[in-house]
């Protein structure tokens, strides 16, 4: 009994000490130093980060545009295959009707096959006539069956093609949705960075962007690249330039092909389309598929492809200048042709 009393007293004492010690522990925890805040980025670092985000959005825009183009192509192919299937089924029904007509004609002849009727005739001329008809009828039947088999085989192929095209269509739609999500995320992140700046800082940011473009342009011009460049445009190129420069002041919108807004490759595609020369939709496809020319052979109307991933494109208009749709938040404008990292030059015509 005494032991139990002693144990109870000890527990009571421990609890009391714990309660008394708690405020001290709390004060100690409160007094612990907080981790230092992350160092504030300078404006140049912010500019580089915003530029990188918009570059990533441009790459995703190319992926979106390509997926959209492939989706449209696949949809058109599905419609074409469906039409072929419909025509094939109609042809099968027509062939079946011809086969039925042949069977009914035989029934009207008493149900005897042509071979049996041939054996029963005593007239030599009738025999020869019947033999000719028999041979022609046999060939017609063989041809009819062969055509039905070929048509059915075509239907099987069309059905398989329809399934394959549908699978591709769904894959392109998924890629399109993923690219759209990525574009919106990158643009939102860039806008958030810019919105956190004070008005004066945003103005300085624009000034930094312009300084960087001018520095790159000056470095490019100092190489003597313009020396000997052809100044005249072909008639088709002149039409493309006229169209492109007429869009100056219209906003950049990713995925846009006009008439009220454009992305970079939407502008170049629309401009050359107005000149009667269809070209691919994306900057990467324009770089991959159009004929390439050396920078020193560049002439007005040629398309300048920028960055190692071919994520941006503009149209050279002469005198070291190009017209392009820069990025979200900016309008179609004239800029130095060397104001960004040049990958190469392509010539639609």
Q: Could you list the active site residues?
A: 264, 312, 324
Alpha carbon separation from 224 to 51, 218, 304, 338, 345 (Å, rounded): 28, 10, 17, 12, 17
Residue 219 burial class via C-beta count within 10 angstroms: exposed 0-12, middle 13-18, buried 19 and up: exposed
Residue 275 zone, left/alpha/beta (φ > 0; ψ -120 to 50; rest): alpha
Measured N-to-C along each axis, helices 43-108 and 264-274 cross at an angle, to the nearest 10 degrees, of 50
Integer Cα distance of 151 and 157 in angstroms? 10
| Residues in Cβ contact with 10 at an 8 Å cutoff, skipping those fewer than 6 apart | none
| Residues in Cβ contact with 278 at an 8 Å cutoff, skipping those fewer than 6 apart | 272
Helices within the chain (DSSP H only):
2-30, 43-108, 114-120, 124-195, 199-221, 235-246, 264-274, 283-289
Q: How many residues does the chain have?
A: 349
| Residues in Cβ contact with 316 at an 8 Å cutoff, skipping those fewer than 6 apart | 298, 299, 300, 301, 302, 303, 304, 322, 337, 345
Report DSSP letters for 85-101, one per residue.
Answer: HHHHHHHHHHHHHHHHH
């Amino acid at each position: 009994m005494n032991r139990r009393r002693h144990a109870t007293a000890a527990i009571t004492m421990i609890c009391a000490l714990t309660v008394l010690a708690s405020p001290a522990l709390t004060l100690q925890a409160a007094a612990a130093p907080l981790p230092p805040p992350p160092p504030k980025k300078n404006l140049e670092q912010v500019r580089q980060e915003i530029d990188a985000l918009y570059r990533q959005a441009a790459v995703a825009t190319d992926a979106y545009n390509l997926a959209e183009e492939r989706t449209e192509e696949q949809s058109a192919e599905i419609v074409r295959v469906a039409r072929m299937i419909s025509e094939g089924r109609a042809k099968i029904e027509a062939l079946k009707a011809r086969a039925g007509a042949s069977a009914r004609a035989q029934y009207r002849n008493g149900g005897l096959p042509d071979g049996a009727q041939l054996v029963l005739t005593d007239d030599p001329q009738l025999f020869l006539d019947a033999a000719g008809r028999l041979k022609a009828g046999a060939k017609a039947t063989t041809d009819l069956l062969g055509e039905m088999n070929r048509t059915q085989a075509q239907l099987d192929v069309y059905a398989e093609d329809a399934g394959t095209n549908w699978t591709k269509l769904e894959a392109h739609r998924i890629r399109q949705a993923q690219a759209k999500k990525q574009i919106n995320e990158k643009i939102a992140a860039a806008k958030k960075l810019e919105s956190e700046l004070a008005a004066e800082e945003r103005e300085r940011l624009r000034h930094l962007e312009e300084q960087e473009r001018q520095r790159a342009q000056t470095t490019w011009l100092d190489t003597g690249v313009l020396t000997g460049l052809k100044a005249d445009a072909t008639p088709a190129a002149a039409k493309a330039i006229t169209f492109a420069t007429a869009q100056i002041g219209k906003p950049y919108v990713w995925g846009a092909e006009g008439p009220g807004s454009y992305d970079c490759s939407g502008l170049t595609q629309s401009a050359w389309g107005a000149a009667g020369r269809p070209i691919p939709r994306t900057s990467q496809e324009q770089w991959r598929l159009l004929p390439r020319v050396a920078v020193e052979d560049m002439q007005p109307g040629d398309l300048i492809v920028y960055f190692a991933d071919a994520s941006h494109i503009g149209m050279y208009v002469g005198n070291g200048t190009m017209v392009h749709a820069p990025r979200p938040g900016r309008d179609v404008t004239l800029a130095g042709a060397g104001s960004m990292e040049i990958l190469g030059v392509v010539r639609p015509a």
